[in-house]
Amino acid sequence: MEERTNQGWAVEIEQLVKKFGSFTAVDHISLKVKRGEIFGFLGPNGAGKSTTIRMLCGILTPTSGNGKVGGFDIYRESEKIKQNIGYMSQKFSLYEDLRVEENLDFYSGIYRLSKEIKGSRKEWALQMAGLKDRRSSLTSTLAGGWKQRLALGCAILHEPSILFLDEPTSGVDPLSRRRFWDLIYEMAGKGVTVFVTTHYMDEAEYCDRLALINQGRIVALGTPAELKTRYMPEAVWELETDHLIDSLQALKESQRFSEVAVFGNALHVVAKKGEDLSSFIPSILAGEGIPPKRLEQIEPSLEDVFVSLIEAEDQENGGNK
Amino acid sequence: MKLVRLKAIAWKEFIQIGRDPRSLLLAISIPVFLLLLFGYALTLDVDRIPTVIYDLDRTPRSRDLADHFLRSKYFQLQSIAPNYSHLQEMLDRGQALMGLVIPSNFSRDLELNRDATIQVLMDGTDANTATIALGYASAITLLYSQELLLQKMNRLGAGKISPPIEPRIRIWFNPDLESKNFIVPGLIAVIMAILAAILTSGTISGEWERGTMEQLISTPIRNEELILGKLIPYFAIGMLDLSLSVAMGKFLFGVPLRGNGLLLFSLASLFLLGAICQGVVVSIVTKNQLLSSQISIILSYLPTFMLSGFIYPIANMPKLIQFITYVVPGRYFVAILKGIYSKGIGLEILWIEALLLAIYASAMTFWAYHRFKKRID
Amino acid sequence: MLQRLKSMLIKEFIQVFRNPRMRLILFLPPLIQLIIFGYAANTDIRNISLATYDLDNTPESREMIERFASSGYFRIAHRVGNPQEIRRFLDEGKISAALQINDDFARQTRQRQGTAIQLIVDGTDSNTASVVMAYAQRIVAEYSRQILVERIRTLPNIPDEMKKPFFKKGGIEIQSRAFFNPNLESRNFYVPGIMAFLIMLVTLILTTMAIVREREIGTMEQLIVSPMRPIELIMGKTIPFALIGYIDVLLVTGVGVFWFEVPIRGSLPLLLFATTLYLLSTLGIGLFISTISRTQQQAMMTMFFFFIPAILLSGFVFPIANMPEVVQYLSYADPLRYFLIIIRGIFLKGNGFRILWPQMLALTVLGTIVFTFSSLRFKKRLE
């Protein structure tokens, strides 16, 4: 397997654009991914995540912009890129009418695994996916979580240094999701760069760095911690009361907060940074006769960050829509 | 081109075909079926035409004439009409295709040495049958009237005379005029074309629809490996069907293969290659199974069945259509098949057709290779 | 119920008609096939390429050849000088027949025993060969009889009538009339028939694929769990294609009548009514195939398995009367057979219900059985 250089960035893109007709799916995205990093690409459906990944894998031609994967240019050297990456598409892309091991054998052939390591890699993949005693089952009979791990196995048989995973955990049960991320950590530990897209906010916490993407543009870029502090334009307060819905109503009516939402059995109130609400909120509630049981500022979740950023953007673009 | 990758694709395709026994079964039974149908059931030969006779004369002479018609294998008596409307009704209902009307003054005219006229009324709906039936009727009538003349001349003292001119007909290449001897060879072309279309039309578009193609194009696989790998199993099936058809032709129908069997197989494989690649191209371009199946079918059966000279002689078509047939590969394949089977000719005469088939095969293969892009757009 | 049906119909229509490629597929193939069948499907045997080898070279032998040339059936392609050329041209397929006239032809015709001319026919295509033989016999017999008539006139004691113009031809003449298709145009036979062929093709493919496709993609499940009743699902999946069937009928009729000048002597409403009966069968078959196919590829192959014999045994190209008895019985189960009779009856013969009711009855019975059976099966599959 060729690699242009062991140093340098795993992925570099600059002002990447993809237009489908008049619709701009990816709108001037730039970012750099370090080797061995777990890089997350987070955003709602239709934000441009899959489109970006496809361009990075060399299977979709960008409209404009530059990019390099593993040091190879995404326009001119896409075939070299394909030799060095693993890709797991959103649909898992397994052959349903092939058996588990037939799928593995197929991809071993495609990646030209040598006879010596073919066997051991296959066993490793079966072990990793937990399918050792189901190697002869038809792939169509597997449930979601198993298919997911099998698809991952097929994608990394050739031990690529860069792995692109497009929504690898969509439609998979939480336990399997957790197991999956354990696998990703294992690989990252061995130096594999993992570029993963997801719309599960909780998974984003697992990444080394994140890019938040909305409507084709990057809204925020950094580590999860950075996103929660530096990027978060607002503060989040958590409030517990006995009359949650009434409190919700009252706080909303005051129109002093950008967002009030139920979170489990508490409320999350999003307000401007620096504002001290420790007395303000109770004063509103007092008007309803509701005593607050607990009120404190908390670290925002990534979901909070994201929603805030998006809403800020929408407000900005409000006139342009 | 790396053999390992090629093998992986080909093997996968084989597995998939094997896992779907119905496709395999259909792939084999369609040729068998077609051969049986065309060999036993279907013919354009015109004979046993249901005929109604309306004899207004009712003399020995008129009955003799009617006899001459019915004795030939071409006409079969359906009924004797008691009146004209019965005859009309039979034609209307389609129960008779021809009505022979012998007027009341028929034998009297003959006695009086006048030209006698009979009427032949045909159902013209099926123009082919009608034209041919009319031709047979004319021939029979002419021969009969010549016979009468000779009898007359004999009575007039000229003695026994033979007809001045008689045709002595020799039939070459297919002496017994077995229609299957010409149908079966041409049918092979139709079978291969249809089969290639059905087998391949979904192969690439299906993978796109199921999402596995997206995965494939992200791997180092190359165009030629992918296409060739997909070709191989279908080609194998096609050759299997070819052998089956030839075997059936020989052992079941007794169609003699006068020419070189090896030549037949090699040229057939060229056609097969072209037809398969054509199906692959359609699959690549449409990316949609529904569309590719429709387009493939039309592009395969229509030209091969209608425009190749299989059933309808090209010489009878309007000039414009004849020009179009020059780009129908089936035309050349049918010519080759008929030539090798019936006439026993070889490359020295068929080299043009062979060359054109080779061009077809390479052009299609090249097109498939080029048109396939390892990209989504 | 009507509401759900309506939404389903709208969805199907959108899916079918919004896709530009689909629109093309719906209307282009019928047109192309119409044109090809209208112009290419022609088994009229004319312009048979003939080689002549005249060793006599007398006015009589030239007259013989001239009669072949002006018959309208033959075309003198080559005048050869030696027998090897005949062999070669036959091998190369440049001629279909060869006429050889011996060197004492003219003299022999005046003799008592007469003479013969040689006709070599390429038997590869036996259909053409039989017809070639019949035409040749006719041409030869005509000339031969002509010679006889002239000879009779030279006899000493012929009756007076024979000297009169009434005895010009010396025998029996045929006056022929072709009903329903006076000019014996092949296309009048094929073009209306295409309608039956097209409708079956289109409705079969679309119905089968539409259902199987939804199943493959997974949206079928969505429909199953909705309150939609099976009958609504079936109607939703078949009515759009039935409509396309009707459009095709009108399209073919339009092109046939206005472009190809095929006459339509019967009633168009009757045709549309018969189309409805026909559609019962075709849609029913499509429905059935969809219940036994898991993938689109399978569906297509199965569809072909039904379609090919249905076409071939229907009388569309090959006359049913010429088939072996057993096979003729098989064709009774073929809806296309009845529809073809109806179509040709309405277009060319001006037949009405009085004559066509047996076929319509057959279609009704066949269609009801097929459609009911398939619907039941479809319903069962859903559960």
pLDDT digits (tens, 9 = 90+) for C276-289: 999 999 999 998 99
Please indicate, yes or no, if residue C180 is contained in any of the structural domains.
Answer: no
Residue of C62, C174, C259 best to disrupt the B interface, most CBs of B under 10 A: C174
Positive or negative torsion for Cα C78, C79, C80, C86 = positive
C57 and C27 fall within a common domain: no
Q: What is the pLDDT of residues C304-355, one digit of tens each?
A: 888 888 988 898 888 888 788 888 888 999 999 999 999 998 998 888 898 8
Inter-chain CB proximity B219 and A92 less than 8 Å: no
Give whichever of A75-89, A167-181, C320-334 has the largest mean pLDDT: A75-89
Say how many CB pairs under 8 Å bridge B and C.
401
Q: B220–A83: do the CB atoms touch at under 8 Å? A: yes
CATH number of the domain encompassing residue C88? 3.40.190.10
Q: Which residues pair with C121 in a beta bridge?
A: B171, C97
Q: Dump pLDDT digits (tens) for C45-98.
A: 778 899 999 998 999 899 999 999 998 889 999 999 898 999 888 888 888 899
User: B5–A95: do the CB atoms touch at under 8 Å?
Assistant: no
Interface test with A, best of B6, B7, B12, B374 (most A CBs within 10 A): B12
Whether C295 is in a domain gets the answer yes
- Subunit partners of chain B (3 or more CB pairs within 8 A): A, C
Judge if C290 and C250 occupy the same domain: yes
**pLDDT value of position A6:** 52
Model confidence at C377: pLDDT above 90: no
Mutate to test the interface with B, among A72, A90, A97, A166 (most CBs of B within 10 A): A97
Average pLDDT over residues A57-63: 93
Domain around C213: 12-41+186-382
Q: C166: pLDDT confidence band, cut at 50, 70 and 90?
A: low
Residues shown for chain C:
383
Please indicate, yes or no, whether residues C55 and C36 belong to a single structural domain of this protein: no
Distance between C93 CA and the closest CA of chain B, angstroms: 9
Query: In Å, what is the CA distance from A310 to each residue of A204, A212, A261, C27, C382?
Result: 16, 10, 16, 47, 44
Name every chain B residue with its beta carbon within 8 A of the beta carbon of C296: 202, 206, 289-290, 293
The complex's ipTM?
0.80
Average pLDDT value for residue range A125-153 = 90
Residue A253: count other Cβ atoms within 10 Å of its Cβ. 11
Is residue C341 domain-resident? Answer: yes
Q: Does the structure show a pLDDT above 70 at C167?
A: no
* Per-residue pLDDT at B336: 93
Residue C43: the pLDDT is: 67
The reply to whether C61 and C145 lie within a common domain is: yes
Query: Could you list the pLDDT tens digit for every one of the 377 residues in chain B?
Result: 889 999 999 999 999 988 888 878 888 888 898 888 888 887 777 788 899 999 999 999 899 999 999 998 889 998 999 999 999 989 888 889 999 999 999 988 888 777 888 999 998 888 878 888 888 998 899 888 888 888 887 877 777 777 888 888 888 887 877 777 878 888 999 999 988 988 888 788 888 888 899 999 999 999 999 999 999 999 999 999 999 999 998 898 888 888 889 999 999 999 999 999 999 999 898 888 877 887 888 888 888 888 888 888 787 788 888 888 899 999 999 999 988 988 888 888 899 999 999 999 999 999 999 999 898 87
Who's near A199: CB < 8 A, 6+ residues apart?
A42, A43, A44, A45, A49, A167, A170
All structural domains of chain A:
11-222 (3.40.50.300), 230-320 (3.30.70.100)
Residue A51: pLDDT band with limits 50, 70, 90 = very high
Kindly state whether residues C335 and C220 are assigned to the same domain: yes
Same domain membership, residue C204 and residue C138:
no
Asked, for residue C113, whether it belongs to a domain, the answer is yes
Mean pLDDT confidence for A206-226: 90
* Contact across the interface for C29 and B298, Cβ inside 8 Å: yes
pLDDT at position C165 = 63
CATH number, domain B49-158, options 2.40.50.100, 3.40.920.10, 3.40.1710.10, 3.40.710.10: 3.40.1710.10
Whose tokens are 């559609």? That residue is C279
Sequence spans of domains, chain B: 3-42+179-371, 49-158
From A192-201, B84-93, C204-213, the region with the lowest mean pLDDT: C204-213
Q: Which of C115, C151, C351 sits opposite B165 (nearest CB)?
A: C115
Whether residue A2 is predicted with pLDDT greater than 50 in this model: the reply is no
Examine residue C172 and state whether it is found in any structural domain, yes or no: no
Asked whether the predicted pLDDT for residue A3 surpasses 60, the reply is no
Specify whether C198 is located in the same domain as C155: no
* B chain contacts of residue A85, beta-carbon cutoff 8 Å: 218
Average pLDDT over chain A reads: 87
Residue A268 reports pLDDT greater than 70:
yes
Contact A41, A53 (CB under 8 A): yes
C145 and B172 within 8 Å at the Cβ level: the answer is no
List CB contacts (< 8 A) between C121 and chain B: 169-172
**Closest by Cβ to B217, choosing from A59, A102, A105:** A59
Both tokens of residue C374?
A: 């398939």
Q: What is the pLDDT of residue A1?
A: 44
* Residue C362 and residue C271 share a domain: yes
pLDDT (tens digit, 9 = 90+) per residue, A151-172?
999 999 999 999 999 998 887 8
Q: Which of B350, B221, A89, B360 is nearest to C92 (CA)?
A: B350
Q: Does B12 sit within 8 Å of A111, measured CB to CB?
A: no
Residues of chain A found within 8 Å of residue B376, distances taken between Cβ atoms: 54, 59-60
Which of A94, A98, A109 faces B4 most closely, judged by CB atoms? A109
Give me the pLDDT at residue B40, please.
81
Angstrom distance (rounded) from CA A159 to CA A117: 11
In a domain, C29, yes or no: yes
Partners of residue C326 on adjacent β-strands = none
Contact yes or no for B122 and C179 at CB 8 A:
yes
Do C76 and C214 fall into the same domain? no
> How far apart, in whole angstroms, are the C-alpha atoms of residue B228 and residue B368?
10
Domain match, C111 and C148 both:
yes
Question: Using 50, 70 and 90 to split pLDDT, how confident is the model at A321?
Answer: very low
Say yes or no: A238 contacts chain B, CB-CB below 8 A. no
Among B129, B291, B311, select the one facing C25 at the smallest CB separation: B291
- Nearest residue on chain A to B17, alpha-carbon basis: A97
CA distance A110 to chain B (A): 5
Per-residue confidence (pLDDT) for residue C169, from 0 to 100: 64
Chains that touch C (3 or more CB pairs under 8 A): B
- Asked whether residue C202 falls in the same domain as residue C343, the answer is yes
Alpha helix segments (H runs only) across chain B: 3-19, 21-36, 60-71, 84-93, 106-111, 127-153, 180-200, 203-210, 212-217, 223-247, 261-286, 289-301, 319-325, 329-338, 347-371
Distance from the Cα of B224 to chain A's closest Cα (Å) equals 13
Residues of B in contact with A92 (CB under 8 A): 211
Do B141 and C33 lie within an 8 Å CB cutoff? no
Neighbours of C272 (CB within 10 A): 13
| C contacts of B345 (beta carbons < 8 Å) | 91-92
CB contact under 8 A, B218 and A59: yes
Query: Sorting pLDDT into bands at 50, 70 and 90, what band is A81?
Result: very high
Q: Domain total for chain C?
A: 2
Q: Which residues of A touch B212 (CB under 8 A)?
A: 93-95
